[in-house]
Amino acid sequence: MKFLMLLAIAILALIAFRPGFSFKSQKPEDYAKNTPLFDIREALSGKLLSEGMIYGPTGRVTSRFTAEFTGAWDGATGTLAEEFVYDTGTTQSRKWFLTMGEDGHFTATADDIIGVATGRQLGNAVSMRYKIRLPAEAGSHVLDVTDWLYLVENGNILNRSEMRKFGIKVAELIATMRPVK
């Protein structure tokens, strides 16, 4: 009996900890009818301000940040420069290079992204998946990331990102992004 109970727990753990599990139940199609329509070429253009928190695997806040983003587009290609300042005083810069494809699909690259990020915008939501290498001071770990961004009526963006290693959730980011008028 004990063996069956342990086996059941092990199977449930394997299912629950597979990459992207907690976000797997949602798909861009779930938001297809929602408005306002999220067009990253418009919403991620110009200056944006962001505030957010990163939660560790136990659910406690491990870091807070503010950031300034600057987006620019030329047709189907764009850049998004990000300048982060963490509560520790540490700073981080990242520059995304984005390319729009067909049917709301897009790709993105950045220096700390391994390979190519893939995403899709549909309705009021954007989803993107990629692998990121953390900075050396954070252990240089490679994490699987799933980002969800939601455009709300006032033009602000709500961001929820989940980070996993070996299929186990190790961090979650919650942030707001708002255009500078």
Tell me which H or E stretch contains 4.
helix 2-16
Let me know if domain 2-179 sits in CATH 2.40.128.20.
Answer: yes
Q: What is the pLDDT averaged over residues 125-138?
A: 94
pTM of the predicted model as reported, rounded to 2 decimal places: 0.85
- Residue 12 predicted with pLDDT over 50: no
Domain ranges of the chain: 2-179
Contact present, 38 and 149 (Cβ < 8 Å): yes
Instruction: Determine the Cα–Cα distance for residues 44 and 67; give it in Å rounded to an integer.
Output: 14
CA distance 125 to 37: 8
pLDDT band for position 9 (cuts 50, 70, 90): very low
**Cβ–Cβ under 8 Å, residues 177 and 65:** no
pLDDT of residue 14: 47
What average pLDDT does this structure show over 9-23?
Answer: 46
3-state DSSP assignment of residue 20:
coil
pLDDT over 60 at 4, yes or no: no
Q: What is the pLDDT of residue 55?
A: 97
Token duo for residue 166? 């070996």
Instruction: Quote the mean pLDDT of the chain.
Output: 90
pLDDT band at residue 25 under the 50/70/90 scheme: confident
Q: What pLDDT shows up at residue 15?
A: 44
pLDDT for 10 beyond 50: no
* Pairwise CA distance, residues 178 & 83, whole Å: 15
pLDDT in tens, 146-179: 999 999 999 999 999 999 999 999 999 999 999 9
pLDDT at 139: 87
In contact, 178 and 67? CB cutoff 8 Å: no
The pLDDT value given to residue 24: 60
Q: Could you tell me the pLDDT band of residue 137, with boundaries at 50, 70 and 90? A: confident
